[in-house]
Structure 1
Amino acid sequence: MMQNFLKAWKEACRTNGGVLLIPLGTYLVRDATFQGPCRGQTKVNLKGTLKATSDLTLDAGYWIGFSYVENLIIYGNGTFDGNGASAWGCKCQNCKLPISISFAFVRNSKVQDINSVNSKSFHMNIFASQNMTLDNVGISAPGNSPNTDGIHIGKSNNIRINNAHIGTGDDCIAMLDGSTNVNISRVSCGPGHGISIGSLGTNPQEKDVSSITVSNCTLTNTTNGLRIKTVAPSQPINVYNIRYQHIIMNNVQNPIIIDQHYCPSKNCPKAESSVQIKDVKYDDVRGSSATKIAVNFDCSRNKQCQDIHLSGVNLTFKGQPTTASCSSANIKFIGPKQTPSGCS
């Protein structure tokens, strides 16, 4: 069946305005790459369900890939089903589960009104892409499913995510190095690990992260809310011009957190991050925290967080005021009647 879809893609790709139609029904497929460049605008009308096999031996590391395509439109209320339950309990050594949908070197494109469920690993990975919009997408996997990030973004510019409903076993949205001009709005997140920048500083030659705006989002029962995470020790890069505004937290364990001492291994040296975090603004972040410490800035002693501003923050724990823990950070609480109102 996948060969038929690939053949239809080639025909659509050769035609300006060509359409690959995946009709109603469920189609069990192994893996495929839909590659350009195409002659003009190319559409994928997904009406049915593409379901992944249980095969883990995918050479490309993903199940469905779109690469080197410009003016791509994916729409149609259909579903990508990663068949993750067949792999989440995998006991194989050095086993790297495939990403469900990969976008690499994709430009001026839109993904609208589609669903991704039960990915084996990340649901969507956006890499080295520009000017992409994801609108009204639904992403879901059980809260205990491993590493099922909703949307992963790296080395990409001008990415917009609007009106998304994301519930996973890991980050709802993760922005890695080289993510710039990302606008996230009207996203509901939960379960999951929240909306994250990082991990950063792991590899040499990573790129700065800048101009990120997260607005009008709701996080419910997540392990983190708005998180910036860097490894320690780390490579030196910068994170700056970050804006969080009009955010609702519902029983979130770490509503506002900067963690510059993240170390995924069990034997971590006492080290500091070399990632500089500066110019981060939190405006109108309100709701309930699942912990007494609702604001936690654990910054690097080598590269202290600079120009961190909080205004209109109102976070409570079991109906009582929360506290803020601040280390190696230049922080200003701007305006009256904030909860917490300062660093403890």
Structure 2
Amino acid sequence: MASKFTLLLLPLLAYIVNAQAPATFDIGNFGGKPDGNIAEALSCAWKEACAATTPSTIVVPKGTFMLDQVKLLGPCKAPIELQVQGTIKAPSDYNTMSDKNAEWITINYVDHLTVQGGGVFDGNGHEAWTQNDCGKNPKCAKLPLNLSFNFVTNSIIRDVTTKDSKYFHVNVIGCKNVTFQRFTVSAPGDSINTDGLHIAKSEYINITDCVIKTGDDCISIGDGMKELHIEKVTCGPGHGISVGSLGKGETEEDVTGIYVKNCTFIGTQNATLKITDLHYEDIIMDNVENPIIIDQEYCPWNQCKLDSPSLIQVSQMTVKNIKGTTKTPVAMTFACSKTKPCQNVEIGDIDLAYSGTEGPITTKCANINPTFVGKQNPPICTDAAPAA
């Protein structure tokens, strides 16, 4: 009986060994060489790996590799990993890209994707930033972003860096159950429109143990976002974590279930919150310009109508245990819509000190009637315009 039991285990053991040792597709075997354009090599390696019926790993080894542009498309037949050990670098002139109006690296329709390896996606964006005129021109040219994940599910992106993107660093659209862990975004504070992660029309997205240094929003949240959990993220420089800008289109979807916890903002312009089930708790502010802001009169670059009240309803929000310093005298702004006042807002345990000399620390409130728990320093909404 013992021998029969052993024989029955052998196929199972073989399956386990196979699952732990995925097939490897090194781009060097497809003609990818350091300092050369690896677009064709990466595409070929991806095509073969994606067609494999067992888990596979594509390897970009250590070294610096140039990449014009690439689209990595699924669905794949088995889990797939892109292991980037070296640095992949984009052209400085985006006009030389084969499709200058598209993303630099696009990954679409993949289930069980892993991106890791300790490497760098370098967008080489310094030249493009000087050509960005979106602050003056609403029809400005679309610049390529570094990484675009569209309709990706059950996946993890970890231990890699996106650097100096020409536009947003990462786009996450139509995705479900995706985690960014120990993910790094790196760009100067004066880089233009370099949002760290822009996430929309997705659900169950986790961002944890990440460092985001950039010139725009560290994380921007668009319409249709459901269940976004942000925890242990260090943000700065940058504009903070923002929900918006919303209300531009008639087909925009509701945003619900946003959790921001145990994060640190260092020298950011805004810490966040500009429409249901928002939770912003256990946050450290270090010399932040606008620690907490809900601004339903927000009008970037005056490209909208300020006399038209926002129709977005902000409700079921908690703001708790916020500590640190603000470098502007207005520590908190809750400027809600006249037509859609903020509802069911709870504020508690606020302790913010003003680090400047322009006047006493204050708050601004309109069209909101919050409930309070614990202590509030400074006092919140003492002269608020009442909610309608």
Q: Give TM-score scaled by structure 1 length.
A: 0.94
Structure-to-structure mapping, 1:31-180, within 5 angstroms: 31-57=69-95, 58-59=99-100, 61-90=102-131, 94-180=140-226
- Aligned match of 1:246: 282
Paired with 1:312 and 1:96, the residues of 2 have a C-alpha distance of 43
Q: Does 1:8 align with 2:45?
A: yes
Paired with 1:128 and 1:322, the residues of 2 have a C-alpha distance of 41
- Aligned match of 2:364: 325
Q: What do residues 207-248 of structure 1 show as CA deviations (whole Å, max 9, x unaligned)?
A: 0000010000000100001221xxxxxxxxxx1111011000
Which of 257, 266, 271 in structure 1 is aligned with 2:293?
A: 257
Could you tell me which amino acid in structure 2 is paired with residue 44 of structure 1?
A: L
Which of 294, 297, 302 in structure 1 is aligned with 2:339?
A: 302
Paired with 2:163 and 2:100, the residues of 1 have a C-alpha distance of 22
- Aligned match of 1:235: none
Paired with 2:48 and 2:293, the residues of 1 have a C-alpha distance of 49
Paired with 2:207 and 2:251, the residues of 1 have a C-alpha distance of 27
Paired with 2:67 and 2:127, the residues of 1 have a C-alpha distance of 14
**Number of aligned residues:** 333
Q: What do residues 157-207 of structure 1 show as CA deviations (whole Å, max 9, x unaligned)?
A: 000000000010000001100111000000000000001111111112100
Paired with 1:79 and 1:241, the residues of 2 have a C-alpha distance of 35
Q: Which of the two has higher C-alpha Rg?
A: 2
Could you tell me which amino acid in structure 2 is paired with residue 33 of structure 1?
A: K
Larger helix fraction of residues: 2
Q: Gapped runs of 5+ residues in structure 2?
A: 1-37, 383-388
Deviation larger for 6-15 or 84-93: 84-93
Paired with 2:379 and 2:100, the residues of 1 have a C-alpha distance of 52
| CA RMSD of superposed structures (Å) | 1.6
Q: Gapped runs of 5+ residues in structure 1?
A: 229-238
Q: Contact (CA 8 Å) 2:100, 2:144: kept in 1 or not?
A: no
1:37 and 1:297, CA in 2 relative to 1: closer, same or farther beyond 3 A? same
Which of 202, 227, 237 in structure 2 is aligned with 1:191?
A: 237
Could you tell me which amino acid in structure 1 is paired with residue 339 of structure 2?
A: N
Paired with 2:45 and 2:229, the residues of 1 have a C-alpha distance of 33
Which of 351, 362, 373 in structure 2 is aligned with 1:314?
A: 351
Could you tell me which amino acid in structure 2 is paired with residue 18 of structure 1?
A: S
Q: Give TM-score scaled by structure 2 length.
A: 0.83
Paired with 2:206 and 2:302, the residues of 1 have a C-alpha distance of 36
1:24 and 1:160, CA in 2 relative to 1: closer, same or farther beyond 3 A? same
Q: Percent identity?
A: 41
Q: Does 1:277 align with 2:323?
A: no
Secondary structure, aligned partner of 1:69 = coil
Paired with 2:301 and 2:349, the residues of 1 have a C-alpha distance of 37
Paired with 1:137 and 1:321, the residues of 2 have a C-alpha distance of 38
Paired with 2:144 and 2:116, the residues of 1 have a C-alpha distance of 23
Residue 41 of structure 1: how far off its partner (Å): 0.4
Residue 334 of structure 1: how far off its partner (Å): 1.5
Structure having greater relative contact order (Cα 8 Å, sep ≥ 6): 1
Larger strand fraction of residues: 1
Q: Contact (CA 8 Å) 2:101, 2:142: kept in 1 or not?
A: no
Paired with 1:18 and 1:138, the residues of 2 have a C-alpha distance of 25
Q: Contact (CA 8 Å) 2:168, 2:196: kept in 1 or not?
A: yes
Paired with 1:321 and 1:287, the residues of 2 have a C-alpha distance of 16
Residue 308 of structure 1: how far off its partner (Å): 1.1
Q: What do residues 1-54 of structure 1 show as CA deviations (whole Å, max 9, x unaligned)?
A: 210111011111112211110000111111001100000100011001110012
Q: Contact (CA 8 Å) 2:100, 2:143: kept in 1 or not?
A: no
